[in-house]
Amino acid sequence: MTTQTVVRQMPELEDALKRRAPGLPLEAGALMARYTTLHLGGPADLLATPRHPEELQLLLEEAHRLGAPLTLMGQGSNLLVRDGGIRGLVVRVASGMRGITVHGDTLVAQAGATMTSAAMAAAENSLAGLSFASGIPGTVGGGAYMNAGAYGGEMSQVVVRVDAFDRQGQALTFTRPELAFGYRHSALQQRDAAVYRVVFQLPGGDREELLQEMVELNRRRAEKQPLNFPSAGSTFKRPAGYYAAALIDECGLRGYALGGAQVSEKHAGFLLNRGGTAADFLALMAHVQRVVWEQKGVRLEPEVRILGEDAPVKPV
Ligand SMILES: Cc1cc2nc3c(=O)[nH]c(=O)nc-3n(C[C@H](O)[C@H](O)[C@H](O)COP(=O)(O)OP(=O)(O)OC[C@H]3O[C@@H](n4cnc5c(N)ncnc54)[C@H](O)[C@@H]3O)c2cc1C
């Protein structure tokens, strides 16, 4: 897409959505900086926050029918949105769809439930295996899509089924083998699936011990990570055989700043927004990648998902 893209279907799409789903939260020109943990990104043409799976399905059907581009997001904790924002419809599967139920050893979460609330619900019901998720910002939908993990735990170990829609709004079910989980990867990425429900199967555990384990993991997280500045967590994936943070640190880049973006002093794997733009952040990412390649011969691949358009160039 160019920086001048106009999606002509948007007024028709907005009208159709208002007619077919009265009360569906819609925001035209929603500033993506408000919906991402990096606090970066220009406006989305239209942002919708579905309240239940049927509304998510309707959004997919209508965008497909009118040929409007559609971008899915959860809580925006792994997203870098460019300064020109996102053309078309952004569907935010987060606060509107966050129910969690537990039956025996099975925990069923709507895709917009937070990772932390799923971990809490598991512990409260004496189910183990999800403590790692407490403290990972974001939704279980985004977590399944990314195969999020921490402290030795990963979604791949506990998710047994994902219910989703394809881009036409047709229902899809993925069993664990079909999810083909890998490091920060799932088959949901290839299939462009819109997740509405994640099913976990969990072993029994001791409620008090699990709650204590989560407190401890959150303490470790706060000790190691720069949680007081906007970030998207680890900016780069762990390259095979290395740690991105150690490589960046060894290249002398800890604390390095470019415009309003900075490599964290506390954890060199976290690039921070220190009042800059997405363009600053992208320039810092490119600089870090170049230096690490030149000095260490290792290619750093982004873990953050980069979306949207650059800001239009202002006439001088
Ligand atoms: C301070 C901090 C610490 C972090 N620590 C960790 C960590 O320890 N481990 C870790 O793995 N990650 C970590 N992250 C990154 C982030 O929290 C995870 O990647 C998280 O799983 C993203 O979830 P989200 O709902 O915010 O998704 P988003 O960031 O909104 O989206 C991420 C991707 O998932 C897709 N997606 C989201 N929801 C859906 C859906 N319902 N259906 C289909 N696709 C969807 C989006 O299209 C996008 O490609 C951290 C981030 C921050 C800010």
Cα–Cα distance for residue pair 77/137, rounded to 1 Å: 6
Look at residue 8 and give its three-state secondary structure: coil
Instruction: Name the residue ranges covered by the structural domains of the chain.
Output: 10-92, 100-205
Helix (H), strand (E), coil (C) string for 271-311: EEECCCCHHHHHHHHHHHHHHHHHHHCCCCCECCEEECECC
Per-residue pLDDT tens, the chain, 316 aa: give them. Answer: 444 578 889 999 999 999 999 999 999 999 999 999 999 999 999 999 999 999 999 999 999 999 999 999 999 999 999 999 999 999 999 989 999 999 999 999 999 999 999 999 999 999 999 999 999 999 999 999 999 999 999 999 999 999 999 999 999 999 999 999 999 999 999 999 999 999 999 999 999 999 999 999 999 999 999 999 999 999 999 999 999 999 999 999 999 999 999 999 999 999 999 999 999 999 999 999 999 999 999 999 999 999 999 998 776 6
pLDDT at 199: 98
Architecture of domain 100-205: 2-Layer Sandwich (3.30)
Cα–Cα distance for residue pair 282/206, rounded to 1 Å: 45
Cα–Cα distance for residue pair 106/84, rounded to 1 Å: 42
Rounded to the nearest angstrom, the distance between the alpha carbon of 148 and the centre of ligand 1 is 7
For ligand 1, mutation pick of 78, 156, 281 (most atoms within 8 Å of CB): 78
Rounded to the nearest angstrom, the distance between the alpha carbon of 140 and the centre of ligand 1 is 8
pLDDT at 7: 85
pLDDT at 119: 98
Q: Give the global pTM.
A: 0.96
The residues, ordered by sequence, that sit 6+ positions from 11 with a Cβ below 8 Å of its Cβ are none
Asked whether 48 lines ligand 1 (CB < 6 A), one says: no
- Ligand 1 atom showing the smallest separation from residue 37 Cα: 53
CA-to-CA separations, 212 to 127, 137, 144, 205, 219, in angstroms, rounded: 13, 19, 25, 12, 11
Query: Going by CA atoms, what residue is nearest to atom 51 of ligand 1?
Result: 233
Asked whether 148 lines ligand 1 (CB < 6 A), one says: yes
The CATH code for residues 10-92 is 3.30.43.10
pLDDT at 4: 53
Rounded to the nearest angstrom, the distance between the alpha carbon of 12 and the centre of ligand 1 is 31
For ligand 1, mutation pick of 93, 145, 174 (most atoms within 8 Å of CB): 145
Query: Going by CA atoms, what residue is nearest to atom 46 of ligand 1?
Result: 73
Query: Going by CA atoms, what residue is nearest to atom 1 of ligand 1?
Result: 233
